[in-house]
Amino acid sequence: MNSTIAPEKVCFILNPKSGVKSSVSVPDLIAAHLDHSRWAPEIIYTQYAGHAPQLAREAAAAGARLVVAVGGDGTVNEVARGLLGTSAALGILPKGSGNGLARHLGIPLALPQALALLNNPVFHRIDSCAINGHPFFCTAGIGFDGLVSSVFAKSTKRGLSSYVQLVVREFRTFQSEAATVSINGKSLSSDFFVVAFANASQYGNNAYIAPMANIQDGLMDVCLIRHVGIAEAIQLGYGLMTKQIAHSSLAEFHTCATVRVQSEKPQYYHADGEFMGQAQEFEVQLFPESIEVVAPLPAKS
């Protein structure tokens, strides 16, 4: 590193509630693994859910070149949302339970390695999306996806096994709703179990809803899953974990930049796994190359 160049500002925004409990001290890791000749760090803790967008915006306005979300996809969503339209880039120290965007971008899950990545940063622009105006960077969805996010939001348990238990319990009583998906000039009507919108390929925990999704191609991948029974749901679960869903007859894929869904009844929906409420009409839009990230993505050809 050239010692005549002053270190640039980096702000770490840390969600103390994300992920499963751990004794790791993030400030200690930053002190040990960040190159302090490259970066001048500031560490800020969120005080409440929904605090991080404001913190990220303030950090960018104060001149941070990089704002690092320390947490899971909910925290990444909040920080990234705050950075839209600013000149600061997003970094991720994955400390959540699912870490979908970090996994998609190839960011190491081990925090020392994730910090090392920031020392020689490679900046890439990626797409972002919004569902009914709520930005998302990884996935959003309606139907069973949305229901699971609403129940998980009320649960204090985190981690993969709690999530799987919850999915199995909720599946027993879930009713698919009739809806029409308008996409690329076609109208597709059915009782949908899930309508998922993928900017990145996975929900988190390597559960791939759209294994072929490219976060830099200016298109989202829409995955339509019609009403399923228990045997098919098990097949889908297997397909999610093995990427085989891409070839499953149970899932239909489309790529587009905008999509509309009109449901007969209100449906729960989520953005990056965070429960967003209920709606009957949905508009999902993609914004190409709308945010810069530090990630080991291959260079864009």
Ligand X SMILES: Nc1ncnc2c1ncn2[C@@H]1O[C@H](COP(=O)(O)OP(=O)(O)OP(=O)(O)O)[C@@H](O)[C@H]1O
Question: CB of 19: closest distance to ligand X in angstroms?
Answer: 5
Q: What is the spatial distance between Cα 175 and Cα 21, in angstroms, rounded to a whole number? A: 34
Check if the beta carbon of residue 34 is closer than 8 Å to that of residue 41: yes
User: How deeply is 252 buried, as exposed, middle or buried, from its count of CB atoms within 10 A (0-12, 13-18, 19+)?
Assistant: middle
Question: CB of 238: closest distance to ligand X in angstroms?
Answer: 21
Question: CB of 14: closest distance to ligand X in angstroms?
Answer: 9
Out of 236, 274, 286, 291, which residue is the one contacting ligand X (CB under 6 A)?
274
Count of other CB atoms within 10 angstroms of residue 111? 18
**Nearest residue to the partner ligand X, using Cβ:** 72
- Convert residues 35-74 into a mask of x (bound to ligand X by CB under 6 A) and - (unbound): -----------xxxxxx-------------------xxxx
Classify 206 as helix, strand or coil: coil
Between 75 and 255, name the residue whose CB sits nearer to ligand X: 75
Q: What is the spatial distance between Cα 261 and Cα 205, in angstroms, rounded to a whole number? A: 27
Between 97 and 263, name the residue whose CB sits nearer to ligand X: 97
Question: CB of 288: closest distance to ligand X in angstroms?
Answer: 25
Between 96 and 135, name the residue whose CB sits nearer to ligand X: 96
User: What are φ and ψ of residue 57, in 5° steps?
Assistant: -60, -45
| Number of residues counted as binding ligand X (CB under 6 A) | 25
Strands 139-143 and 258-271 come out as: antiparallel
Between 192 and 197, name the residue whose CB sits nearer to ligand X: 197
Question: CB of 296: closest distance to ligand X in angstroms?
Answer: 19
User: How deeply is 229 buried, as exposed, middle or buried, from its count of CB atoms within 10 A (0-12, 13-18, 19+)?
Assistant: exposed
Out of 91, 98, 121, 146, which residue is the one contacting ligand X (CB under 6 A)?
98
Between 25 and 47, name the residue whose CB sits nearer to ligand X: 47
Question: CB of 234: closest distance to ligand X in angstroms?
Answer: 23
Q: Considering only residues 152-191, where is the footprint of ligand X by CB under 6 A?
A: 158
Does residue 145 interact with ligand X by CB under 6 A?
no
Q: What is the spatial distance between Cα 90 and Cα 81, in angstroms, rounded to a whole number? A: 10
Radius of gyration of the chain (CA): 19
Does residue 104 interact with ligand X by CB under 6 A?
no
Does residue 135 interact with ligand X by CB under 6 A?
no
Out of 9, 12, 15, 215, which residue is the one contacting ligand X (CB under 6 A)?
15
Whole-angstrom CA distances from 286 to 87, 131, 205 are 20, 9, 24
Beta strands in the chain (DSSP E): 8-14, 39-45, 66-71, 89-94, 123-131, 134-136, 139-143, 177-183, 186-198, 220-226, 251-256, 258-271, 274-294
Does residue 128 interact with ligand X by CB under 6 A?
no
Out of 10, 11, 12, 19, which residue is the one contacting ligand X (CB under 6 A)?
19
Out of 18, 199, 202, 263, which residue is the one contacting ligand X (CB under 6 A)?
18
For residue 158, the Cα-to-chain-centroid distance in whole angstroms is 16
* Interface ranges with ligand X (CB under 6 A): 15-19, 46-51, 71-75, 78, 96-99, 158, 204, 273-274
